[in-house]
Each structure stands twice: as C-alpha cells, then as structure tokens.
Structure 1
C-alpha cells in the first residue's frame, strides 16, 4: 500500500465508508447524521494539520487518517490523529500502517507526544492497536459514550511520548 497526501479528488472514495462508520455510531463521537459537507470540512484539514489516504496498488482508497495539533498555545507540542479504514479492507494492516505513518509524521514535525482524546472502550481492535504501537490509557471517562448496542461505555484518553 501507499500512503500519500489526500486530495479533494479522494473525497468521493472516502465519504462512503466514512458515512457508514459515522452512522453506525460505534467508534466516533460525531453526530450519527453528520452531513457530508460538515464531515469533509472536519476531515480534510489544512496546514499545520495533514490528511492522508492509504491506497492499494490499483489506487483504491483503503483508509484515511488526519493528524493535527491536539491543543494550541503552550500545549501545541502535543499531536492528535483520527483514523478510518474502509471495512472492505479490514484486517489487512491498513490501520497499523496509518498509525505508524502518523507517528513518524508527528516526530518529524517536532511534536513531543501524541494524545487520542476519545477512544471508545468497546473499540477493542483500535485500543489493542494503539497499545501495540506504544500508547497507554491515561484515564477513562466513565459512561462518556453512548454506544448503540452496549449503552453507556467509557472513553479512553490514550497517550504516547514521541
């Protein structure tokens, strides 16, 4: 796979799987009925942030990540990121490749740490991946997320020094 800068031309390939992930309401704190124009403005970010896509050899978008400063001012040395993988490409290492890419990007940009603000505790694949990539759970907001089938579940704050 190739990971490259996302362009406006990638959006029609991103939006269908992003829409499904958001509408499922299981892993993101976005409104389940987030309209396309709002999703696009939240995902395709400009400098100092960056949005990338992972594409297969045929050019199909398998997943995407956005990376950005987590805070401003005196805390602007902490990065954050969000990831979405097309379920059609699940289990092929796309999330791991995007995670490693984002960590390399953050190091290269001079960030000192990366923090994920809201990892849904029932998203065990994501939690396990981030732990495998060196993140630790700093704390959990009890009942911070209303999952459509599990009810109120925790939101982890995850962190990794760079």
Structure 2
C-alpha cells in the first residue's frame, strides 16, 4: 500500500465508496443527496490542507483529508477525516491514513489535532484513534442521527502534538 497526494483523477475512484459510506448513514453527517461534484468539493481539500489516497496498484483503498480545524485564530489546530473502502477494511488502511495525518500535522507545525465528530457507535474508529493517542474530551449527546441506532453521541477527540 502506498499513500500519496490525491489528484483530480483519483476522485472517480474515491466517489463510489464515499457515496456508499455516506448513504450507509452510520459514520458521516453529510447529506444523503450529494452529487459527485458537491461531494468532491467537500472532500478534496484545498491548500493549506491536503487530501491523500491509499493505493494498491490501480485500486484506491481509502482516502483522508486534513487541514486546519478552524480558520484564523483556530488554525494552529488540525483536523482530519477518513474513509476506507468497505472492501479494504481490516487491511490497516485506516491506521496508515491516521498515522499519516498525525505526522503531516506535526510536520506542518500544528499544535494539536481535533476530531469534531466521531460517532460514538463507530467503535473501531474510536479504538483506532485512542490507539494513536487521541483522547475523548467530550461527547455531544444525541448529535448524530444514526441510520440503525437512532440518536447517538458525537465524540470530540484530541491529540496534543
């Protein structure tokens, strides 16, 4: 598996699993009716951020976007989002993308990384981020309308760099 900067040519390979994950309604609060173009605008992060892909041969296994959590006076804290093709789960793709995001944020001079909305029922993601040193610093009750479980909490997770 190779991690590299995403290009416009990668988007048609990211879109199918992006769309499936969003429509699944269990991990992302994006609207269900995104088009390929509106989703691209949300995912392909412009500078100073970055979007990467994890590839194996011609296949895109996953993608991550990262950048400042807030503009201006909040720009010293990074954030990131991750999607792994369900067909590639269990291969360590999420971990590699997570490690990359932490290393990138540290190299770019960010002081911390904050994940604003980790769905509390997404236990594999919560465990992964905790394994990488993130702490749950709060949970917003019933902030996510989970397609299976109804209203569940969103964790705010933080890692000091």
With the shorter chain as reference, the TM-score category is: over 0.9
Aligned to 1:81: 80
Aligned to 2:45: 45
Would the aligned equivalents of 1:43 and 1:66 in 2 still touch at CA under 8 Å? yes
Superimposed CA distance per residue, residues 114-137 of structure 1 (whole angstroms, 9 cap, x where no aligned partner):
000000000001000000000000
- What is the TM-score normalised by the length of structure 2? 0.98
Which stretches of structure 1, 4 residues or more, deviate above 6 A after TM superposition? none
- What is the TM-score normalised by the length of structure 1? 0.98
Superimposed CA distance per residue, residues 43-72 of structure 1 (whole angstroms, 9 cap, x where no aligned partner):
11111010000001x231000000010012
Aligned to 1:95: 94
Q: Distance in 2 between matches of 1:34 and 1:87?
A: 19
Question: Unpaired runs of 5+ in structure 2?
Answer: none
Aligned length in residues: 161
Aligned to 2:11: 11
Aligned to 1:2: 2
Root-mean-square deviation (CA, aligned residues, Å) is 0.6
Question: Unpaired runs of 5+ in structure 1?
Answer: none
Aligned to 1:35: 35
Aligned to 1:136: 135
Do structure 1's residue 63 and structure 2's residue 62 form an aligned pair? yes
Q: Distance in 2 between matches of 1:137 and 1:50?
A: 24
